[in-house]
């Protein structure tokens, strides 16, 4: 049978790629059948004038036409199934993308919650640091009155030592809002940042203009 060579693949094809492969193979056979028909038509012309068996040639042409029709029908059917398979695959891809998006949204929510927890914990620590700093500033005043400057606490040195250490590098594709937040956060770790009273007075901090603002080597806490 004409399609017997392709029957296993035709029956087993399920994906758009498998149907495309079947269509390619059928196209090869169709082109061969069309080429054979052209040769037979030449033979028919000769047979009409006695060069060959006209009935045999015409029977061969009829078989060739039948083969061409069958191959074209098989290709048309395979192409319809290929299009449907491609549509189904695209829908499956969208569903998978949707599931992935939901999973990422859940992870994002979890990480935002961690950010919230850390920020609230940081605020509480900052309140305590501020209270201790104000207490030490008042104590330094008492040491001045008592003419004991040797007992004064260098608050800048305390903060510099406590906040020394490695810093995480910024990811290459960090969004602009995230960069601004990172600069604000790192300003807490640097002299001249938001915890520096003189910097606050100078900049009226409502954001961070440049990371260089927070790396002045000698500004106090």
DSSP codes joined into one string, 54-89: HHHHHHHHHHHHHHHHHHHHHHHHHHHHHHHHHHHH
Question: 106 lies in a domain?
Answer: no
What letters, b where the CB count within 10 A reaches 16 and e where it falls short, cover 133-162? beeeeeebeeeeeeeeeeeeeeeeeebbee
pLDDT-based confidence at residue 198 (cuts at 50, 70, 90): low
Q: Find the domain containing 186 and state its range.
A: 166-221
Question: 213 lies in a domain?
Answer: yes
Same domain, 9 and 93: yes
Question: 143 lies in a domain?
Answer: no
Total-model pTM: 0.53
Count of domains observed in the chain: 2
pLDDT-based confidence at residue 3 (cuts at 50, 70, 90): low
Q: Where a domain ends, among 101, 119, 140? A: 101
Which position has the token pair 């201790």? 132
CB 114, CB 44: distance < 8 Å: no
Tens-place pLDDT, residues 182-192: 988 888 887 77
Question: 116 lies in a domain?
Answer: no
State percent of the chain over pLDDT 70.
87
Same domain, 10 and 90: yes
Same domain, 14 and 96: yes
């Amino acid at each position: 049978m004409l399609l017997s060579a392709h029957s296993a693949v035709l029956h087993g094809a399920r994906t758009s790629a498998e149907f495309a492969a079947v269509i390619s193979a059928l196209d090869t056979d169709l082109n061969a059948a069309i080429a054979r028909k052209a040769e037979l038509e030449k033979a028919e012309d000769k047979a009409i004038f006695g060069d060959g068996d006209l009935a045999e040639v015409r029977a061969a042409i009829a078989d060739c036409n039948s083969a061409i029709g069958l191959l074209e029908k098989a290709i048309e059917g395979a192409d319809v199934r290929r299009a449907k398979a491609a549509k189904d695959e695209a829908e499956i891809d969208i569903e998978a993308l949707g599931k992935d998006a939901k999973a990422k949204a859940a992870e994002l929510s979890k990480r935002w919650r961690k950010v919230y927890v850390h920020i609230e914990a940081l605020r509480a620590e900052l309140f305590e640091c501020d209270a201790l700093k104000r207490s030490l500033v008042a104590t330094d005043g008492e040491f001045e009155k008592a003419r004991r400057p040797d007992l004064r606490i260098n608050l800048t040195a305390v903060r510099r030592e406590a906040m020394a250490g490695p810093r995480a590098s910024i990811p290459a594709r960090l969004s602009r809002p995230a960069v601004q937040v990172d600069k604000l956060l790192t300003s807490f770790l640097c002299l001249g940042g938001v915890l520096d009273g003189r910097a606050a007075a100078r900049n009226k901090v409502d954001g961070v203009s440049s990371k260089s603002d927070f790396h002045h080597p000698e500004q106090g806490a």
